[in-house]
Structure 1
């Protein structure tokens, strides 16, 4: 944005000691707003021409000072030109900061990269590896979007506005082909960087203010009892499919997420308060403890892999593959078992919460504790009540009502009493008559 007026003026500033040299200052005025910059130079008032803003005379020291002042003036014009090229608002403060090397204008990717470096240093203390990986992916997406939208390698923080956020969301959904909720996750990561800029006053306002960040509810239907049993009973010709099935079923009976099953050690399985075997492991995602009593199926699987070479060598309970490979094999397992659902490892966690626990009367609070949730709202996302549970509950209610009907003298005929005839109201036909 070009300014309406622009002026430069060198002048001598009064000093405390009369008769001594005075400091030379440069006044930069943009649209009537001045700022002063010290040149760090001193000069005599009787050898200064205020009309031209330069030292007067032809001596060597005069020529040397005037050359310095002209060079500084050129830097001012270069700073103004840079602001124009960067499509930045031209202000006296912005020019002064560029000239003096105190430019506080931050770059988006620069701030994002600094944030990730600090996060990397705190992995294992405040953050998990997966969290850092998500922010690194978000940084790469932001970098690609800026190049796509603005054809530059980075952008000043001041350029962040509502339009930037809207276009970023559009790019994620179209160019990167992300679904709505994944788009919101990446924008949520980016919003953290934006708020850092706002708190440090590098950005005047939050561009997310009028942008809706709500996620859409995704209905994940867990495995039913017969689907889970069909998977357990299936004997695959491929040993790797059998291993993946076993690990998935173990998660269905413990509720452990992929990362927690993968890192689970024998030392994290001990005797609980009831004298039975329990899992005591913190969630990798949140470091929240998960006390989980082991059900018979899970215990059988632990025994099956107790002497498995890979488990012994890696000090792990189960031979877990990468998440990508596990999910690829699970799709094949679903086809072979006749399960018409998109099978991913995370579905085991939903199956544990709903099919194994809630459908069998385990209280929500207990399920929440075993899942490692910090509040019940998180558990509700997993605990979608099955239609079969609704049917079973209502069947139980019907039976109770049939066994213990209320006495007739208390309830009377009620809704079974015949409906009295209500006098009919004559109907009138209204005819529209042309006036």
Structure 2
């Protein structure tokens, strides 16, 4: 096969015929391909006095100059990469071919934008709206990063590598909101990277990519102490009555979740048909978790039962067939902050706090085994439940008190060897009774100390 030779050169120059109000002129890239030229705007401007026309770069030592020159270098690299990508096809290249690739259209190739469009279209029916909204936020950050880092509106999937991910990671770490504060903590950064990795992994499954480019990446989440209500705080909300009916309804929805462990979406979607008689003859909730499609079976506690009866004749409930009235998660969380203030609770609580409260305060702290808690929460792994349920100090104290009482009851009778040591100080031993024995091995006592005790016993025997 005959090899086709294409030639490319890229130069930057200042279009001095155009000057804006600030006295700056646009920087233009002059691309020469096989003796034909194409003028391409870089989107950057600079004063003529600060431009080195010979080298085609900005001059000076200021930080903004270094950033501009770095941008132009990346711009040049992208043109070269587009050229190389087309050149491997071994055909005579035209300026139009090159322009299509440079402008981010990437004719015939797979890109980040195309992946985002495919992901959102294919997953919109499978993922909850809240999850899709999170993906859209991650995608917004991703496209903003590509624009800032490379100066383009899109990026070729074939060019993805580990450096792209680490640069995106750094971009997220440094991103600030309108108030000049860092936008996200470590776990927020990790979630955005996780979503990008999942989308790229989808591209691999679709055979848009030959291999996964982020294999070296390992997400590092920090452990977060999830908020839950103590027994006192839970009782404060239970006993509080509000003059505003909407606050009372929000309190009831929150308490229902505290005593059933259901998440917001599962509470709102709970139907009357999901209430059935359990194996013990009592009323149970038997449904499926919306998020994971895992079966949930929860006996209904008295507080939850009272709330169900309270709204059983509500017009909304009778019309929809749901167990409880509905309200958006955003409004619920907003009202919960007001409820917390009125009840003197300083914690930042959300509706999801109720699920953690069920796991920690309502069940585990009252002696319900974590295996049972895991089943009621609809978890497939105990490790997931451990994120929700914490062993609080009061539970540790109660368990150790029970252990102490058990040990004391077991040791209430004299040991087989007839000696109960109450105090050992300066070789003095208080004796309950002494019986002869041929041989005895002192448990958990050093040999030297055991010898001292034996000598004391012999001395006491001789005295008697």
How far did residue 98 of structure 1 move? 7.4
User: Is it true that 1:146 corresponds to 2:146 in the alignment?
Assistant: yes
How far did residue 114 of structure 1 move? 1.1
Instruction: Give the match for residue 417 of structure 1.
Output: 424
Kept in 1, the 8 Å contact 2:190–2:220? The answer is yes
How far did residue 129 of structure 1 move? 3.6
Where does the alignment leave 5 or more consecutive residues of structure 1 unmatched? 1-24, 32-73, 423-435
Q: TM-score, normalised by structure 2?
A: 0.67
User: Is it true that 1:155 corresponds to 2:155 in the alignment?
Assistant: yes
Instruction: Give the match for residue 109 of structure 1.
Output: 113
Residue-by-residue CA offset, 1:212-271 (whole Å, 9 max, x unaligned): 302111111421111111110011121111111111000000000011111111121122
Residue-by-residue CA offset, 1:319-360 (whole Å, 9 max, x unaligned): 231111111111111111112211111010011111111112
How far did residue 411 of structure 1 move? 8.9
CA distance in 1, matches of 2:120, 2:400: 53
Instruction: Give the match for residue 38 of structure 1.
Output: none
Instruction: Give the match for residue 56 of structure 2.
Output: none
Q: Residues 190 and 235 (structure 1 numbering): CA distance in 2 closer, same or farther, change over 3 Å?
A: same
Match of 1:253 among 254, 259, 264: 259
Question: 1:317 is paired with a residue of what secondary structure?
Answer: coil
CA distance in 1, matches of 2:188, 2:418: 56
Question: 1:28 is paired with a residue of what secondary structure?
Answer: coil
Kept in 2, the 8 Å contact 1:368–1:375? The answer is yes
Instruction: Give the match for residue 133 of structure 1.
Output: 133
CA distance in 2, matches of 1:317, 1:237: 24
Match of 2:228 among 217, 222, 228: 222
CA distance in 2, matches of 1:106, 1:342: 44
Q: Residues 77 and 103 (structure 1 numbering): CA distance in 2 closer, same or farther, change over 3 Å?
A: farther
Between stretches 355-364 and 194-203, larger displacement belongs to 194-203
Instruction: Give the match for residue 46 of structure 1.
Output: none
Q: Residues 411 and 208 (structure 1 numbering): CA distance in 2 closer, same or farther, change over 3 Å?
A: farther
CA distance in 2, matches of 1:249, 1:302: 11
Instruction: Give the match for residue 182 of structure 1.
Output: 188
Kept in 1, the 8 Å contact 2:6–2:93? The answer is no
Instruction: Give the match for residue 432 of structure 1.
Output: none
Question: 2:232 is paired with a residue of what secondary structure?
Answer: helix
Between stretches 178-187 and 407-416, larger displacement belongs to 407-416
CA distance in 1, matches of 2:261, 2:371: 14
Aligned length: 350
CA distance in 1, matches of 2:225, 2:356: 11
Question: 1:290 is paired with a residue of what secondary structure?
Answer: strand
Where does the alignment leave 5 or more consecutive residues of structure 2 unmatched? 8-32, 41-74, 101-105, 178-182, 428-447, 449-464
The two structures, once aligned, show a CA RMSD in angstroms of 3.3
Question: 1:139 is paired with a residue of what secondary structure?
Answer: helix
Instruction: Give the match for residue 407 of structure 1.
Output: 414
Between stretches 127-136 and 214-223, larger displacement belongs to 127-136
Q: Residues 148 and 418 (structure 1 numbering): CA distance in 2 closer, same or farther, change over 3 Å?
A: same
Question: 1:140 is paired with a residue of what secondary structure?
Answer: helix
Q: Residues 97 and 224 (structure 1 numbering): CA distance in 2 closer, same or farther, change over 3 Å?
A: farther
Kept in 2, the 8 Å contact 1:262–1:318? The answer is yes
CA distance in 1, matches of 2:207, 2:108: 10
Kept in 2, the 8 Å contact 1:94–1:103? The answer is no
Residue-by-residue CA offset, 1:256-304 (whole Å, 9 max, x unaligned): 0011111111121122222211112211111111111111110100000
Q: Residues 134 and 419 (structure 1 numbering): CA distance in 2 closer, same or farther, change over 3 Å?
A: farther
Q: Residues 164 and 286 (structure 1 numbering): CA distance in 2 closer, same or farther, change over 3 Å?
A: same
Q: Residues 341 and 84 (structure 1 numbering): CA distance in 2 closer, same or farther, change over 3 Å?
A: closer
Residue-by-residue CA offset, 1:370-392 (whole Å, 9 max, x unaligned): 11111211111111111110011
